[in-house]
Amino acid sequence: MVQPKLIIHGGFFSESNTDAATKLAKQESMKRIVSLAHAFLLKHSALDTVVYACELLENDPLFNAGTGSQIQSDGSVRMSASIMDGVTRKFSGVINIQDVKNPIRVAEQLMAYDDRVLGGEGATAFARNQGFEHFDVRIPQRIKEWEIKAASQGKGTVGCVALDAAGKLAAATSTGGKGFEMVGRISDSATVAGNFANAHVGISCTGVGEDIVSASLAAAIGIRVTDGMPLDQAYKRSFAELAAYDGFAGAIALTAGGEWYHLDSHPSMVYAFTDGIFLDIF
């Protein structure tokens, strides 16, 4: 039996105010969420756990996903989220979905369908048909930021990678966008550039979506590990490619052997890891 482990991220500290109180609040929230998610993992699969962890992160307005998502240029919120099962290699996701509390749960429902990635109105309509009620995720802080054009620079996402007792991996990622983007802009979070898992490794990314897509970051790391490259070297090679255009990204990962890793190109990504005994938070 494998020792269950998981790692989560909450975007970058620069996603909101970087004062000491906010930084501490994010760290405390990550500690709470990673502990709850690990307890859940002990009785559930990696796939179920990454969804559960992302849901907890989406529900916390400190993070840019679900409640607290960034507001786009037209005053609306459009979110993206995805899941990838390392066993079946199935990928499901929603892109630019609106007015739902937990996009990651909608992505979870899509796993059972042949058409597993939906965007825009289609994604929102699917959510309604599945019983997901209308929910306005805009919080006063985000509305104020939008009104005074003072939002952060859009480097936020949440994610989780889990390894369960059966040795199975899964990854999930959710984002509320970068703020003030053009209507129709697509992030990396519901693509394999930002969320990837197979039998060898799972990766979830955060940062500037366009930079992550240009590097195919999660998939690039994953393929290199699958081909036999050590995890740290796969990261260094992939982030070197990102550095060629000063790409802004962070990524967390777990391997089937229980090795975990994190790296960001610019300070500082919020993350937490636990195996039930050891806990690491930044």
Lowest mean per-residue pLDDT among 45-54, 93-102, 153-162, 193-202: 153-162
pLDDT tens readout for residues 12-33: 876 555 678 888 999 999 999 9
pLDDT over threshold 60, residue 10: yes
CB 180 within 8 A of CB 146: yes
Residue 150 is predicted with a pLDDT of 44
Provide CB contacts within 8 A for 223, sequence distance 6+: none
Sheet with 201-207: list strands edge to edge: 195-197, 201-207, 249-255, 260-264
Could you tell me the domains of the chain? 5-281 (3.60.20.30)
3-state secondary structure of 2: coil
Between 179 and 279, the higher pLDDT residue: 279
Amino acid, single-letter form, for residue 239: F
CA distance 214 to 260: 24
pLDDT over threshold 70, residue 87: yes
What is the pLDDT averaged over residues 190-199?
98
CB 50 within 8 A of CB 171: yes
Residue 193 is predicted with a pLDDT of 98
- pLDDT confidence bin for 153, thresholds 50/70/90: very low
Q: Give the DSSP letter string of 193-233.
A: TTEEE-SSEEEEEEE-HHHHHHHTHHHHHHHHHHTT--HHH
pLDDT over threshold 50, residue 152: no
pLDDT tens readout for residues 32-47: 999 999 999 999 999 9
Residue 115 is predicted with a pLDDT of 98
Residue 93 is predicted with a pLDDT of 98
Please name which of 171, 225, 186, 156 lies closest in space to residue 13, comparing C-alpha atoms. Answer: 156
Residue 235 is predicted with a pLDDT of 98
Q: Is 256 left (phi over 0), alpha (psi -120 to 50) or beta?
A: alpha
pLDDT over threshold 90, residue 151: no
State which H helix or E strand residue 45 sits in.
none
Please name which of 62, 61, 72, 64 lies closest in space to residue 96, comparing C-alpha atoms. Answer: 72
Residue 148 is predicted with a pLDDT of 62
Between 274 and 148, the higher pLDDT residue: 274
pLDDT tens readout for residues 89-108: 999 999 999 999 999 999 99
CA distance 39 to 24: 23
Catalytic residues: 157
pLDDT tens readout for residues 199-244: 999 999 999 999 999 999 999 999 999 999 999 999 999 999 999 9
What is the pLDDT averaged over residues 73-102?
96
Report yes or no on whether pTM surpasses 0.85. yes
Name the token pair of 153: 């620079």
